[in-house]
């Protein structure tokens, strides 16, 4: 640690400089050579196998992905210059750049890519599930890699442009913990270990040997906060350049400051996931009419108005507006109709109503939301009891122990149809009881083996079918605000809640 010489300054001088530094903080910190990003997401490590969702920018700073995903969702070359499928779409052939190396000189070649991909598949993280169908990865020659799958996976390109595309130096694979705190990639920045306080602030300095054109900032810092109030205060005082705000009130607070620019983005939707479509935990839910009744009972517009200040859009489908499978008319598939809900319950044989217990994670279901859902359902004769869960055991009780028949979640809406299908409709985490039916099966099979463009009709049919079967009771798509100060511009990123690290630029 560097020692600072303390000048024999009197208290008055110290006080004066203190005031000055307070005032001057605004100018100094927003200089265009440093980009200060604030976030509430903390990565569990900087090893790519631990990369997930909104933590991606931390990794993008240090690692490059095989395929780059442009802000609009289209795929562009990055470490891979070309890629193509074989005829039955079970082999993806990648052509790699031949001029990229890690800091220690190790070349980013076909062997390195193979090692990384296999590590993802076998590493136990989120990408293990995504790459589960990969049977083999073979290095054809130094710059060509084939990814072989047991069945077509239309999500593969997306994965390679996301966390599963992050390429780390295989030299670090020996030691299980090495990459966690000392990331080693070919990316535009390198972690400044001295300036970084893990858990609080990560400092990335420009990689002078970067193979591609440099990014516009010399230094990028990502600071993690526990609450958005601190973030907004930092934005207002110029200590933070940009952040994504989720809470409506903090969005309003930021909008009140004319020096800040807010860009609405939409990624998450919030809704009640009715996992128990076969009635294993709550037998009543095995009847489609009961699930439909829940959908009719929800007063989505009022909930949106009261809880989200009308920010966002009500919906009854799980596909987002950026996904080709999205069908606008399905947003209104279940208008608020308590009478109809009662009728459906009566038809299903529950004229006296049913009772339902759902888990509640305070971070997701706020007090007003909890009581709004309770009130809505009560009107239709569904008695809802919330069981408070704490953060440490919630995932386990809901997803491992499968104690509940459903839960309220916020989930990002991928722009890739297949990823929506795979994560929400196929058996898996969010279809934990493995619900399916012949129509789902046949639609999924045809979607899987077609190219994305050819599959659209089937995806929409599947979407409609799922809405009709009321597998979910979505509430609304949530609107977030991407806030930047006067010195920075940022572009929202398709398929990600926050912008990619490449999407920031100094304001002109």
Partner 1 sequence: MLTFIARRIIAGVFLLFVISALSYVLLSLPGADVGRSLLGQSASAEAVAAKNQQLGLDRPVIVQYGDWLLHALRGDFGSSWFTSENVLTSISNRLPVTISVMAGVTIVTAVLSFLLGIWAAVRGGWIDRAVQIVSVVGYALPGFLITLILVIVFAVQLRWFPAIGYIDASVSLSGWLSTITLPIIALSIPAIAGVVQQVRGSVKDVLNRDYVRTLRARGLGPNRILFRHVMRNASAPALTVLGMQFVGLLGGAVIVEQIFGLPGIGSMTVSYTTRGDIPIIMGLIMFTVVGVILINLLIDVVIGWLNPKARIAS
Partner 2 sequence: MFSRLLYGAQNTLGGAVIALAVALVIGIPTGLLAGYYGSWFDSVSSWVVNLVMALPAMVVLLASRAILGNTVWVLMIVMGVLVAPSFFRLVRGIVVTVRNELYVDAARVSGLRDWRIIGRHILIVVRGPIIVQISLVAGVAIGLQAGLEFLGIGSGSTPTWGAALNEAFQNIQRAPVLMVWPGVALGVTSAALVLFGSSVRDILEEGAGEPPRAVALPAEAPRDADSAPRGTLLSVRDLAVAYARDGGGEKEVVHGVSLDIDTGRILGLVGESGSGKSQTAFSVLGILPQGGRVSRGSITVGGTEIVGLPEKRHRGLRGRTIAYIPQEPMSNLDPSFTIGSQLVEPMRVTLGLGAAEARTKAIELLRMVEIADPERTFRSYPHQISGGMAQRVLIAGAMSCDPELVIADEPTTALDVTVQAEVLNLLRRLQSERGMGVLLVTHNLGVVADICDTVAVMEHGRIVETGTVAQVLTAPSHPYTQRLLASVLDESDVRPPWRDPSTEVTPA
Contacts with partner 1 by CB under 8 A lie at 1-4, 6, 14, 17-23, 25-26, 42-47, 50, 52, 124-126, 128-129, 177, 180-181, 197-201, 223, 225-227, 229-231, 233-234, 236-237, 239-240, 390-393, 395-396, 398-400, 423, 428-430
Query: H or E stretch including 112?
Result: helix 110-122
Choose the contact partner of 124 out of partner 1, partner 2, none; CB within 5 to 8 A by kind: partner 1
- Closer to partner 2 by CB, 4 or 391: give it: 391
Task: List the structure tokens of 372.
Answer: 């709004």
In angstroms, give the least distance from the CB of 488 to partner 1.
Answer: 17
Is residue 39 within 8 Å of 134, Cβ to Cβ? no
* Selected binder of partner 2 within 249, 278, 305, 445 (CB under 8 A): 249
The Cβ of residue 81 has, within 10 Å, a number of other Cβ atoms equal to 13
Is residue 383 part of the contact set for partner 2 (CB under 8 A)?
A: no
Residue with smaller CB distance to partner 1, 42 or 107: 42
Judged by CB under 8 A, does residue 390 bind partner 2?
Answer: yes
Q: What is the DSSP string of 345-369?
A: HHHTT-TT-EEEEEEEETTTS-HHH
199 near partner 2, judged by CB under 8 A: no
* Among residues 370, 377, 382, 501, the one that binds partner 2 under rule CB under 8 A: 370
- Please pick, from the candidates 72, 76, 388, 445, the single residue that binds partner 2 as defined by CB under 8 A: 388
371-382 CB burial, b ≥16 within 10 A, e <16:
ebbbebbebbbb
Give the three-state DSSP class for 235. helix
Rule CB under 8 A: say whether 104 interacts with partner 2: no
Q: Which residue lies nearer to partner 2 by CB, 168 or 248?
A: 248
Task: Give the shortest CB-238-to-partner 2 separation in angstroms.
Answer: 19
d(CA 498, CA 453): 26
Are 146 and 93 in contact, with CB atoms under 8 Å apart?
Answer: yes
Which residues 391-450 are close enough to bind partner 2 by CB under 8 A? 392-393
CA atoms within 13 A on the CB side of 482: 18
Nearer to partner 1, 239 or 266 (CB): 239
With respect to partner 1, which residue has the nearer C-beta, 50 or 268?
50
Q: Give dist(CA 437, CA 74) in Å, integer.
A: 33
Beta bridge partners of 223: 38, 201
Of residues 163, 56, 157, the one with CA closest to residue 415: 157
Among 253, 344, 425, 496, indicate the residue that binds partner 2 (CB under 8 A): 253
Q: Which is nearer to partner 1, 151 or 395 (CB)?
A: 395
Q: How far is the CB of 372 from partner 1 (least distance, A)?
A: 25
Q: Smallest distance, Å, CB 164 to partner 2?
A: 33
Task: Please report how close the Cβ of residue 196 comes to partner 1 at its closest, in angstroms.
Answer: 9
Does the protein bind partner 2 through residue 362 (CB under 8 A)? yes
- DSSP state letters, 322-340: TSTT--GGGGGSS---HHH
Stretch that binds partner 2, among 42-50, 249-257, 331-339, 439-447 (CB under 8 A): 249-257
CB of 358 to partner 2, least distance (A): 13
Per the document, the length of the chain is 508
Distances (CA, A) of 307 to 70, 272, 370: 33, 16, 10
Q: Residue 47 Cβ, how far from partner 2 at the closest point, in Å? A: 28
Closer residue to partner 1, CB minimum distance, 253 or 380 = 253
* H/E segment holding residue 18: helix 11-29
> 206: burial class by Cβ within 10 Å (0-12, 13-18, 19+)?
middle
Closest distance to partner 1 from the beta carbon of 314 (Å): 25
Q: Give the max Cα distance, the chain.
A: 86
Close Cβ partners of 494 (under 8 Å, ≥ 6 residues apart)? 69, 70, 71, 72, 73, 322, 415
What is the contact surface with partner 2 in residues (CB under 8 A)? 247, 249-250, 252-253, 256, 309, 362-363, 367-368, 370, 386, 388, 390, 392-393
């Amino acid at each position: 640690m560097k020692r600072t010489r303390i000048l024999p300054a009197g208290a008055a001088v110290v006080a004066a400089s203190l005031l000055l530094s307070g005032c001057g903080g605004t100018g100094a910190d927003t200089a265009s050579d440093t980009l200060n990003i604030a976030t509430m997401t903390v990565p569990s490590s900087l090893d790519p196998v631990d990369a997930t969702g909104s933590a991606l920018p931390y990794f993008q700073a240090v690692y490059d992905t095989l395929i780059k995903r442009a802000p609009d969702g289209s795929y562009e070359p990055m470490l891979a210059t070309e890629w193509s499928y074989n005829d039955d779409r079970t082999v993806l052939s990648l052509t790699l750049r031949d001029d990229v190396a890690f800091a220690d000189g190790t070349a980013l070649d076909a062997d390195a890519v193979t090692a990384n991909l296999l590590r993802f598949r076998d590493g136990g993280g989120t990408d293990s599930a995504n790459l589960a169908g990969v049977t083999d990865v073979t290095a054809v020659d130094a710059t060509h890699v084939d990814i072989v799958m047991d069945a077509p996976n239309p999500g593969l390109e997306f994965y390679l442009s996301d966390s599963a595309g992050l390429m780390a130096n295989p030299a670090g694979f020996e030691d299980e913990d090495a990459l966690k705190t000392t990331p080693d990639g070919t990316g535009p920045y390198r972690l400044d270990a001295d300036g970084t306080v893990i858990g609080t602030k990560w400092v990335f300095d420009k990689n002078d040997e970067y193979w591609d054109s440099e990014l516009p900032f010399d230094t990028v810092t990502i600071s993690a906060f526990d609450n958005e109030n601190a973030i907004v205060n930092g934005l207002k005082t110029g200590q933070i350049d940009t952040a994504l705000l989720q809470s409506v009130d903090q969005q309003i607070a930021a909008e009140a400051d004319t020096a800040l620019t807010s860009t609405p983005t939409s990624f998450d939707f919030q809704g009640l996931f009715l996992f128990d479509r076969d009635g294993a935990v709550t037998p009543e839910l095995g009847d489609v009419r009961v699930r439909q009744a829940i959908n009719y009972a929800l007063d989505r517009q009022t909930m949106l108005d009261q809880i989200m200040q009308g920010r966002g859009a009500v919906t009854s489908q799980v596909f987002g507006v950026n996904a080709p499978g999205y069908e606008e008319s399905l947003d209104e598939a279940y208008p608020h109709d308590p009478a109809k809900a009662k009728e459906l319950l009566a038809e299903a044989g529950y004229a006296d109503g049913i009772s339902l217990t759902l888990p509640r994670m305070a971070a997701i279901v706020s007090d007003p939301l909890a009581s709004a859902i309770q009130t809505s359902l009560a009107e239709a004769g569904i008695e809802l009891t919330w069981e408070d869960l704490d953060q440490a055991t919630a995932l386990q009780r809901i997803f491992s122990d499968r104690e509940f028949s459903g839960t309220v979640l916020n989930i990002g809406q991928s722009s890739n149809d297949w990823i929506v299908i795979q994560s929400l409709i196929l058996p898996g985490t969010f279809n934990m009881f493995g619900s399916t039916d012949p129509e789902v099966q046949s639609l999924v099979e045809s979607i899987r083996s077609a190219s994305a463009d050819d599959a659209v009709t089937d995806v929409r049919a599947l979407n409609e079918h799922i809405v009709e079967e009321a597998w979910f009771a979505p509430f609304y798509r949530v609107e977030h605000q991407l806030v930047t100060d006067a010195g920075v511009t940022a572009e929202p990123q398709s398929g990600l809640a926050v912008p990619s690290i490449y999407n920031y630029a100094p304001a002109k």
